[in-house]
Amino acid sequence: MSVMLREEHHVFFEARTGQSLLDTMEQLEPWLDHNDIRPVEFKHTVTPSGAVEMLLTFRTRHEASLFEQAFCQVDAA
């Protein structure tokens, strides 16, 4: 019996301050469509302050990396 393990790569994404979930999805969907990428899982939270936080799961490290490069900014201290 062969068991196939599913590869998963998670990316945490925080929307710009003041951006709603709808606005955020309208920003992400064209990019995902253009790159033919479909997250395996999508979870979101709206914090008490109104910030939108998302956890996206991608099939491959490459997909996750492309998303991070497009949407996740690293603060250089």
Element (H, E) at 33: helix 21-34
Phi-psi region of 50 (alpha: psi -120 to 50; beta: other; left: phi over 0): left
Distance from the first to the final alpha carbon of the chain: 51
- Please, what are the domains in the chain? 9-71 (3.30.70.330)
Angle at 51 between CA 15 and CA 61, to 5 degrees: 40
| Residue 5 confidence (pLDDT) | 57
pTM of the model: 0.78
**Could you give the CA distance from residue 31 to residue 34 in angstroms, rounded to a whole number?**
5
Q: What is the pLDDT of residues 9-62, one digit of tens each?
A: 999 988 888 888 899 999 999 999 999 999 999 999 988 888 899 999 999 999
Q: What is the pLDDT of residues 57-74, one digit of tens each?
A: 999 999 999 999 998 876
| Residue 18 confidence (pLDDT) | 84
